[in-house]
Each structure stands twice: as structure tokens, then as C-alpha cells.
Amino acid sequence: MTDLLIKICGISTEETMQATLDLGVDMVGLVFFPKSPRHVSLTQACKLADMARGKAKVVALTVNMDLDSLSRINELVAPDIFQFHGNETPEACAAAKVMYNKQVMKAVAISDRSDLEEALYYSIVADRLLFDAKPPKGSDLPGGNGVTFDWDLLKDLDLAKPFMLSGGLDASNVAQAITRSGATAVDVSSGVEREKGVKDIEKIRAFVAAARSVSPVAGE
Ligand SMILES: O=C(O)c1ccccc1NCC(=O)[C@H](O)[C@H](O)COP(=O)(O)O
């Protein structure tokens, strides 16, 4: 049995970072995607990452980013984990892992069982998979849309690597999502915001409490 891992994604202010770290979460996500309301500049990301270092794993979230930009994030922000949330191939994930000597988490968008096949390829090269809902038609964002998918699809999934559950989670549904999916790790962004891109510390607190209310889950 192991404790649940909790990631709060899309942190963009020092106040939110401090409050989130005070809750003892496991991972904090910084979004590097200019179209996102959660996008952070490199300067702000460095400040936020320095606050988190040694307290929570710093996750740099990128979408189909070119190698020069990835290298700049790696050098300046020094994240613990790269989260690839676009159409990065398994080969690109493997190359980044070797080049930066960092863990790689690959997002896989799910709407039905057939989407899980993609996860098998990524589970060979990535350290962890992040299951998210498919973005609604017309959305500018490949993630962070506050949309759920059928959590039962993940129950008893036999993968070589652990997964993190995301997509539309909030304090009211995270316990049920963990129970139905068998997840040992959860990730949230919209569900802890008062408006798009603006985190709400009380909602983060409620989310963490609700997630931790579920009995310890089977180990990774
Ligand atoms: O959060 C964003 O703005 C974002 C932009 C581009 C790609 C991915 C993005 N977020 C991905 C995350 O890690 C979210 O935490 C995950 O998709 C769940 O989001 P939500 O449904 O809003 O909780």
C-alpha cells in the first residue's frame, strides 16, 4: 500500500505556490504554452521552481515544443519531470529522457477503450502516463479543459508504468474517480480555480483533503 500522489497543475503565482507546498503535495506543474491562461514566463517559472525545489517535484508541461526551447527550460528552470501534452512521438519522449536525464510523463487523451492502445507504446519509454480527457471540439488547449472521461476504463489496466489520472477532477468527484479508476496518482487544474487560470487556495485545500480521504491504494 502506498500514499496517493497529488499534482496541482498550472500554478502561476508565488502565493498559490506557497499555499500548495504547505499542503505537502507531491508535484507542482508549470505550464509553458502561450495559448494557456496558466502560461508562465521563464523568469516566473524559475522563481516558482526555486520555491518548490526539494519540497515537491517540479513538472514542466510543454506541448510539441522544439528542442531549443525545451533545452532552455531544462537549463534555467531545471524541472524534475517533463510532461509532454501534445503529439510527441514515443521516440521524441525517449530522446528527451536521455538528452536531459529527466523523468518523462506522457499525456494520453482518452475517450474510449481504443485510446488505451496508444498508452502501451508510451509506457515503454515514459516513466509515467497521464490519462486526460480528449479536449472538447474547438478548444485551444489540449489539456486543462475541466472535462472528465469514463474512469472505469482504467480499472485493472495492466501497464508497465504507473499512471496519473486527470481531466475534470475536483473536490466533489476525486474520491469516486480514484475508487473507480484504481489510480494511485491524481492531477488537477480547472477544478481548483475560481476562474480560468486563477487558482483558488481553498479549492486546492478541499481537493487535497478529498483525495487523501480515500484509503491507501495498492502500490505502484
Ligand atoms: O492547463 C493548461 O492550460 C494546459 C495547456 C496545454 C496543455 C495541457 C494543459 N494542462 C494539462 C494538465 O496537466 C491538466 O492538469 C490536466 O489536463 C487536467 O486539467 P483539468 O481538467 O483542468 O483539471
β-pair partners for 32? 62
β-pair partners for 131? 108, 165
88 lines ligand 1 (CB under 6 A): no
- CA distance between the termini of the chain: 8
Residue for grid cell 502501451: 120
* pLDDT at residue 17 in the model: 98
Q: Which residues contact 63 (CB under 8 A, 6 or more apart)?
A: 33, 84, 85, 86, 142
* pLDDT at residue 3 in the model: 84
Q: What is the distance in A from the centroid of ligand 1 to the CA of 145?
A: 6
Grid cell locating 124: 515503454
169 lines ligand 1 (CB under 6 A): yes
Grid cell locating 128: 509515467
Contact 124, 90 (CB under 8 A): yes
Residue 169 Cα: closest atom of ligand 1: 23
DSSP state letters, 120-183:
HHHHHH-SEEEEEEPPPTT-S-SS-S-----GGGGTT---SS-EEE-SS--TTTHHHHHHHH--
Mean pLDDT by 10 residues, the chain (220 residues): 89 98 98 98 98 98 97 98 97 96 97 92 95 95 96 92 97 97 97 97 98 76
Domains defined along the chain, listed by start: 5-212 (3.20.20.70)
* pLDDT at residue 1 in the model: 57
How does strand 27-32 pair with strand 5-9? parallel
Active-site residue flag, 68: no
Report d(CA 4, CA 197) in Å as an integer. Answer: 25
* pLDDT at residue 44 in the model: 98
Q: What is the distance in A from the centroid of ligand 1 to the CA of 9?
A: 7
Grid cell locating 199: 487558482
β-pair partners for 198? 195
* pLDDT at residue 156 in the model: 84
Query: What is the CA angle 136-140-144, rounded to 5?
Result: 70
Active-site residue flag, 132: yes
Chain CA centroid to CA 176, Å: 19
Of residues 43, 35, 44, the one with CA closest to residue 15:
44
